[in-house]
Structure 1
Amino acid sequence: MREAGMSVRTDGAGSVIGRYEGASPGAKALVTGSHYDSVRNGGKYDGILGILVPIACVARLHGRGERLPHAIEVVAFADEEGARFQTSFLASRAFLGRFDEALLERRDAQGVSFGDAMRAAGLDPAAIAAHPRGPATLAAYVEVHIEQGPVLLDEGLPLGVVTAIAGGTRHRVTVA
């Protein structure tokens, strides 16, 4: 991200955020990116493609000395798939200021809490709520994803635009 001309920071949830300022400093940001965690058998491009493609695009803009009217932020979201703590979208919820602190007590299969895992990784759970984002700072969000790749290939299409997505929800059911 730095080599592509972006300023880089890590937020309280462990997401890495690169910002390439627009022609008007402080303008709303076009946010793009994806998650750097995966699910079992998710494939080698699950998530990471949506991080690397926008970094390459920003690097191209930077190399040509171009600035868009708005800023571009590339976000590498941490813990979106929920494979370890069985809950999804933890980092994106934190990014938007919608993180439920009760999730810090959620435990993995070894009994480690999410909060303890964050501290072990050098993160401060108290910092999650420090920089929430909202409509006043965001222009749009777009994401490059590999999931539709086989369909696009079969159809001979270079690109597909998704206009709606399914929300992820998990429930634990105990039958006694």
Structure 2
Amino acid sequence: GEATIEPRTPLDLTRPLARVTAEPGAGTRLAGPDAARAAVRRGLLAGAGLLASEQLGLAERCLEDTVRYTRERHQFNRPVGSFQALKHRMARLWLDVVGARAVARAAADALAQGAPDAPLTVAVAQAYCSGVAVRAAEECVQLHGGIGMTWEHPAHLALKRAKADQIAFGPEGRHQDAIAALADLPAPV
């Protein structure tokens, strides 16, 4: 049997997507249903945990670019980064990035050690890092001002990557549901 590959248009054009379908009975059976489900679960867990590190790197890069730009860009004869409102926004983002670093590293460590709490640690990392990466990319676009809104500046690429990463392994709410179940948090009555 043959497989059909249909290209899809992704949000992040640097990551091609396709729908792959196979004819019934095509291929070679490698495992039974239970072993296959367990292998897929392990693969998805590892992917989600490692993606948190990419999201952390994206957030760090966006913050660095934004800080550098606001130091260089002047308005009213002062660096725009010296304005209190912008300093506070960057300080909040810095705190978010520090938190993302902690949970991304914890997820990578849990996966490397085969820790029993790896599913919870990865869910925490995804629930947190996905939002931080998007906020960092949004701040990068906004705090770069007019140039950040143009196609010529790479800030839009970071935002597209962050948004695509945010949903790659399910939305933030799905990870929060997993946290609640894995940490045995009761649902509201």
- Shorter-chain TM-score: which interval? 0.3 to 0.5
TM-score normalised according to structure 2 size = 0.32
Higher RCO (Cα < 8 Å, 6 or more apart)? 1
Q: Name the structure where strand makes up a greater proportion of residues.
A: 1
TM-score normalised according to structure 1 size = 0.34
Q: Name the structure where helix makes up a greater proportion of residues.
A: 2
